[in-house]
Structure 1
């Protein structure tokens, strides 16, 4: 009897995993994880009944076909980007895939991002792509009062942190947030994510002892601290509207400001991988999901609050196989000052113009930076500049030099084609890896070295 019950439980687990298009290679681990999750989750009675009905319909769920797992290999040492695939010591991409992203829609272009005015901070201070962590482990530089593990998602690049049941996920390497900073990260969900599962909250707060007290942001106890949070929840396959939520907390049981807004850019299952961009300028908060500006709030951050803490808080899943994933965490500080630095100081450098991996194709999220530069050049019609591309030290010298030159040409073409800047005002050059501004010994250093420089002539 015991063996039959064990077999039935394993079969139920595999069924639920198939429904969410998740494939895990260790069935024993799956059973253990699912048993723990279901025991710990605080779900209501109606959800439990729905779960029981799913268990009764085991056979029908196997009709859904899994997506084919892609196995990629690298062709040698190449320049690493923030979203580049991760390779192991044998120089092959890790092939263990635990989730599948949906087929992507048409690739966005610079033109499609014409309303995107996000400009990253001046200096990259924290990058997290989980490249140093093994698939299946919880990342070494993070803490949690829940559970989670590093995974790969079929159809996407690099590694992701899969967030477990209700809890807080805290990057211990972020200890200070100045008056001007930007935070970017990729957010994904399983492809059958339920609208009844909770939102994923990004929290900025003042915490007396983050290592000890981070878990209070698990729920309403967070009201005891000063801070703010933005929450996101996708539109589900049943047609429910995706939402964004916003709360500012001023101390014990005090909610100063709250808001909720529909978002069109986060739809399951056809578009459940998005980029989130958050921009603080003193008290001002801007939030973007892909190219859609969710909020531009002038009085969100409290200038008297000492923000020293970032965390992601998952309020719980109503369906066992629902999961949130985050990747490519990038924190930059400083207020960009294109006009003053280019015109007055004669030199402006930015890490905000991004390119596809080992390519000169400009990513569409670079639109805000390019527009800012173009505006300065338009307002100063006699100014000519030299555009210089730079890379990090990954890859061979000659290849990086060629790539940097091609990237500077791409920037010139974009400024001319998309912003009307006369090409005669733009010269180009590339320095490859030869002029680093930071040591190429960390992800943050490499991110700062991958830059485009503008020199006034």
Structure 2
């Protein structure tokens, strides 16, 4: 009996252990399953976070790029020494080694107007009274503005009188209906001559011209050539003129002695230092070759203006430098007068467009007052000029040095008001 009880107890204990083990195993299995589920959830969360972060990065990067693009447009030009002149600043791409590369050039005429023509006094349909021509032309209206339309193979010249050695010629060239057909061989030409003769093939002349044959490779170039010159130049300059057709383009031709620069919509496309030889450039002629009246091809000019300019500042610096009385200060002060800004802006654009130009800015005074005080004042005035240029233009600080000479180097008599005005000057010496 005792033996049977022991056997029964053993069997019962075994069953209880099995049940307990089964429950334990079941619990462990559930825990393992839960742990596995949590592991999977964490992995899913992590992968989701990664994808979300990448998506958000793309979104915010796009926003940042958009903000940068929105912040890039040219700032409105302001007057005064604290404004950065961005309107004329050339591009600054990065080179292979990360170096800053500056290119581009602009020119804004600022001299006295010596000739201006808007055809206000001429009737529509007439050839303008103040011009000469070989084949004619007529006044037309373009957006209610008068312009001189050239007839085919017409050479025209305004009665400007003899032009000075340094000047800027501006005009709008208006073209329309230049859509390839019957334009083969056509061209528009600007000639610089030394005689007041209306003649297409003057022996002494320099010219630039371009094809009006839109759509052809011929109109991808501007041809420059001088005739009767010792230093002969005949070349094609790559420039897509056909992109300027059937609309209005603004030309600025700057003559400085033998040098010719030409800008289209204020972008420099021609710069030839010895192109205008034998004194050509005293008169300017316009020539239209080809085109068809039946197809209503139009080549016309409007808003012609000629201003007398000083010698090219860049050339003057390269020759050694120059001095000017156009930079004015308050009496006994280094505070620049606002009337000085026009000249300083022109100089700033010159120095900005050519990073190789280095100058010493030298201040000079008249003899009024104490000589030591004048020396200090001249130094401060030179520094004021440097600060203005650096504040408005992208010029390397190392390209500008300053010094003062006070009253020690007069260029005129200090006993008269006129003489003192000449002595109160700022000099720019090439380094």
User: Higher relative contact order by CA 8 Å / sep ≥ 6: 1 or 2?
Assistant: 1
> TM-score w.r.t. structure 2 length?
0.50
> TM-score w.r.t. structure 1 length?
0.47
